[in-house]
Amino acid sequence: GQQVMQIPQYQHVQEGEDFTTYCNSSTTLSNIQWYKQRPGGHPVFLIQLVKSGEVKKQKRLTFQFGEAKKNSSLHITATQTTDVGTYFCAGGNDYKLSFGAGTTVTVRA
């Protein structure tokens, strides 16, 4: 069945540095969504990508969808303490949306 793998599981970042989290699927996806969950909170939708090679930006966050629609990445520049939390990707296909295990980000001030 469809599986979405996300790496790394944990990311410890110095404030001001950049980092990237990656999402890989065993099957071609129709769409990919990204969510953020703050500690103790609930997942909140960030963005959706649907086109091959699509790139979208939200301030310091850049989201990419691979050419083969099997992988995606989230790149954060100049990390701030407000970026703390767990970032989930979720891939859609065949009437299912499968979540990755998430990347938990901590920030050193």
Interface residues toward another protein, by CB under 8 A: 6, 9, 30-31, 33, 35, 41-45, 48, 50, 88, 90, 92-97, 99-102
Q: How far is the CB of 15 from another protein (least distance, A)?
A: 26
Residue type, 6: Q
User: 19 by DSSP, 3-state: which?
Assistant: strand
Q: How far is the CB of 21 from another protein (least distance, A)?
A: 13
> How distant, in Å, are the alpha carbons of 5, 8, 26, 97 from that of 12?
19, 10, 27, 28
Give the nearer residue to another protein in terms of CB position, either 12 or 96.
96
